[in-house]
């Protein structure tokens, strides 16, 4: 048995003794594990908690998720961002109801066939909810494993990831697969942390960790630099006519696909008059910025009172928009300021 394998019981004991109590851990049904893992992608645990509780109250079953109206679903997701994740959840829920009798599949292979489920989520559901020996390798686990083994390969390389997944599966005890998966995640989140020095002195793996022995933890993991984000300068318009504001729907494909948004254009592309509307009053609002994965929007925001509404848009009162539409957070700043001005 390798040193690492010998240290696994200590890791499990540490997890059992001190893991954070989280709602999806208390009742780890496949549905709850799945939804929590999708919410946790790119979002911190503390931020996810209120969303998770609200979501489970509103949609407690796969069937409820499959049947909910899309606008209501997006409203429940509002604030978590990455709306395509919510849409994929629903697509997958429909498949689960239609093809699996409402029960999430219990193998990685079958889970991978569902929309929005990649190797990480499939591994998490299969191991945590079904006790299968399936690795769930995310950034936390990559960091812990590369440090434990002093692995200096690029973690962006799929081969490195595959090898680490294979090692995790080898170490995963048959009878406590789910606990092992969660223990590794917990170790990465609480002890072998990403920013700043890891807390090796309280780590259950300290005795077998090569990075600790060689004092190189801060040099790991190795990640090749990302491509710089593309910067887009955009003009965002809050068009208002008789107390109603214009919303438009984005295209079905690409960034923020299908969401309702404030009309906006690339700098220099289009003005109010290009939509056939005559501006009566134009107020420049505070500028704002929003960072997506590959693009950064730098926005100049305008509140524009128009003489007549353009029929291409949906015109609604701010109250109705706030209550029923999930405006992407990129527009939050402009929206908040504009509503204050319209209602003030
Ligand atoms: Fe991470 Fe330190 Fe534990 Fe090694 S000993 S796994 S570097 S916290």
- At 68, is the pLDDT very low, low, confident or very high (cuts 50, 70, 90)? very high
Q: What is the mean pLDDT of residues 10-35?
A: 94
Using a 6 Å cutoff on CB, does residue 145 contact ligand 1?
Answer: no
CA–centroid distance, 206 to ligand 1, in Å, is 6
Binding site membership of 122 for ligand 1 (Cβ less than 6 Å): no
* Structure confidence at residue 1 (pLDDT): 52
Q: Note the pLDDT of residue 209.
A: 97
CA of 199 to the centre of ligand 1 (A): 7
Which residue out of 168, 186, 203 has the highest number of ligand 1 atoms within 8 Å of its CB and is therefore the one to mutate?
203
State the pLDDT at residue 105: 97
* Residue 52 near residue 35, CB atoms below 8 Å: yes
Separation CA 65–CA 86 (nearest Å): 10
Crossing angle (nearest 10°) for helices 3-18 and 158-171: 80
Indicate if ligand 1 lies below 6 Å from the C-beta of 184: no
Average pLDDT over residues 176-195: 96
CA 192 to mean position of chain CA atoms: 22
The pLDDT score that the predictor gives to residue 269 is: 80
* Rounded Cα distance, 290 and 232, in Å: 10
Quick one: which H or E segment has residue 295? strand 295-306
CA of 148 from ligand 1 middle (Å) equals 7
Residue-wise pLDDT for 245-273, tens only, equals 999 999 888 888 889 999 999 987 877 67
> What pLDDT shows up at residue 295?
94
Among 11, 36, 18, 4, residue whose Cα is nearest residue 128? 36
Give the pairing type, strands 244-249 and 264-266.
unpaired
- Ligand 1 atom index nearest CA of 200: 2
Cβ atoms of 90 and 121 within 8 Å: the answer is no
Q: What is the mean pLDDT of the chain?
A: 93
Closest ligand 1 atom, residue 199 Cα: 8
Ligand 1 in contact with 211 (CB < 6 A)?
A: yes
Please state, in angstroms and rounded to a whole number, the distance separating the CA atoms of residues 78 and 18: 32
- DSSP 8-state symbol, 218: G
Q: Is 307 a catalytic residue?
A: no
Q: Is the bond into 221 cis (omega within 30 degrees of 0)?
A: yes
Look at residue 343 in the predicted model and tell me its pLDDT: 86
163's CB contacts (< 8 A; 6+ apart) are none
Which residues on adjacent β-strands are paired with residue 279?
306
Grade residue 42 by pLDDT with cuts at 50, 70 and 90: confident
CA of 303 to the centre of ligand 1 (A): 52
What is the pLDDT at residue 2? 67
pLDDT digits (tens, 9 = 90+) for 100-132: 999 999 999 999 999 999 999 999 999 999 999
**Cα–Cα distance for residue pair 184/14, rounded to 1 Å:** 11
C-alpha of residue 185 to centroid of ligand 1, in Å: 13
Percentage above 90 pLDDT, the chain? 82
Q: Is the CB of 188 under 6 A from ligand 1?
A: no
* Low-confidence winner among 10-24, 151-165, 193-207, 261-275 (lowest mean pLDDT): 261-275
If residue 266 lies in a helix (H) or strand (E), which one and from where to where? strand 264-266
Q: Give nearest CA residue, ligand 1 atom 2.
A: 200
pLDDT band at 281 (very low <50, low <70, confident <90, very high): very high
Best probe residue, ligand 1, of 212, 213, 214, 220 (max atoms within 8 Å of C-beta): 212
Residue 183 CB less than 6 A away from ligand 1: no
Task: Please tell me the residue having the least CA distance from ligand 1 atom 4.
Answer: 209
Burial class for 128, CB neighbours closer than 10 Å (0-12, 13-18, 19+): buried
Kindly report which listed range (79-83, 142-146, 171-175, 189-193) carries the lowest average pLDDT score.
79-83
Q: Which atom of ligand 1 lies at the shortest distance from residue 204's CA?
A: 3
Structure tokens, 86: 């919510």
User: Does 148 contact ligand 1 (Cβ within 6 A)?
Assistant: yes
26, 37, 69, 232: which is the annotated catalytic residue?
37
Which alpha helices (H) appear in the chain, and where do they start and end?
Answer: 3-18, 23-26, 30-40, 45-58, 62-67, 70-77, 83-100, 108-112, 119-124, 139-148, 158-171, 177-190, 210-214, 318-324, 332-343
Is residue 132 within 8 A of residue 141, CB to CB? The reply is no
CA gap 198, 7 in Å, rounded: 18
184 versus 254: the higher-pLDDT residue is 184
Contacts of 288-293 with C-beta under 8 Å, sequence gap 24+, read: 288/236, 288/330, 288/333, 288/334, 290/329, 290/330, 291/229, 292/229, 292/255, 292/330, 293/229
pTM given for the model? 0.74
pLDDT 10s digits, 51-66: 999 999 999 999 999 9
User: For the segment 206-235, what is each residue's pLDDT rounded down to a tens digit?
Assistant: 999 999 999 999 999 999 887 889 999 999
Atom of ligand 1 at shortest distance to CA of 220? 7
């Amino acid at each position: 048995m390798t040193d690492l394998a010998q240290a696994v019981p200590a890791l499990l004991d540490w997890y059992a003794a001190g893991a954070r109590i989280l709602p999806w851990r208390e009742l780890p049904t496949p549905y709850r594990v799945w939804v929590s893992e999708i919410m946790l992608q790119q979002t911190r645990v503390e931020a996810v908690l209120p969303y998770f509780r609200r979501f489970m109250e509103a949609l407690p079953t796969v069937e409820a998720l499959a049947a909910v109206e899309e606008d209501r679903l997006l409203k429940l997701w509002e604030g978590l961002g990455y709306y395509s994740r919510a849409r994929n959840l629903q697509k997958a829920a429909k498949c689960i109801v239609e093809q699996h009798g409402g029960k999430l599949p219990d193998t990685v292979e079958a889970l991978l066939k569902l929309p929005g489920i990649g190797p990480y989520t499939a591994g998490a559901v299969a191991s945590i909810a079904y006790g299968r020996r399936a690795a769930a390798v995310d950034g936390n686990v990559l960091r812990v494993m590369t440090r434990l083994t002093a692995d200096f390969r690029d973690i962006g390389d799929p081969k490195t990831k595959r090898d680490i997944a294979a090692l995790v599966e080898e170490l995963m005890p048959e009878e406590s697969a789910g606990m092992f998966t969660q223990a590794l995640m917990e170790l990465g989140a609480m002890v072998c942390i990403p920013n700043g020095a890891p807390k090796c002195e309280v780590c259950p793996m300290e005795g077998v960790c090569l990075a600790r022995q060689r004092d190189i933890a801060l040099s790991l993991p190795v990640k090749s630099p990302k491509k710089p984000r593309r910067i887009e300068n955009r003009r965002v318009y809050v068009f208002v006519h008789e107390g109603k504001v214009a919303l438009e729907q984005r295209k079905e494909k690409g960034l923020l696909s299908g969401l309702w948004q404030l009309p906006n254009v690339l700098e220099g592309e289009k003005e109010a008059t290009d939509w056939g509307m005559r501006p009566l009053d134009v107020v420049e609002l505070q500028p704002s910025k929003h960072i997506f994965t590959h693009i950064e929007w730098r926005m100049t925001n305008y509140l524009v009172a128009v003489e007549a509404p353009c029929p291409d848009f949906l015109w609604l009162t701010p109250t109705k928009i706030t209550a029923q539409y999930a405006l992407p957070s990129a527009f939050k700043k402009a929206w908040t300021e504009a509503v204050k001005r319209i209602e003030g």
